[in-house]
Amino acid sequence: MIEDLNPKQFKDYLDNNTAILVDVREQGEINICKIDGSISMPMSKGPEQYDELNPSDNVAIYCHHGMRSLQIAEFLESKGYKSLFNLQGGIDAWSREIDPLVDRY
């Protein structure tokens, strides 16, 4: 199941649960900013790298605005992953609502 969480809900989830935080943006975007503790799994490589994640783990996913991460979450769900969390509005919303020190682009 995919839970689409607003930035506050996403932060609360990360603060209170064990989850793998996955950034699906491309390297050039990650060079601008990222959420601390995230691992990189660019959308362009998702189909090749998804098996590096454990299907029984909680997986929290984000991108720039929340669309690519939702697509990756749907892909992972189709591969049997059960506990998926998408950041609505992506890192842009995270920067506006949670951590203004995260650069926007």
Choose the catalytic residue: 63, 76, 91, 93: 63
Residue 63 known to be catalytic? yes
DSSP annotation of 67: H
Give Cα 5 distance to the centre of its chain: 11
CA 12 to chain CA mean position, Å: 14
| Residues 19 and 12 sit within 8 Å (Cβ to Cβ) | no
Sheet of strand 39-40, all strands in order from the earlier edge strand to the far edge: 2-5, 83-87, 58-62, 20-23, 39-40
Active-site annotation, residues? 63
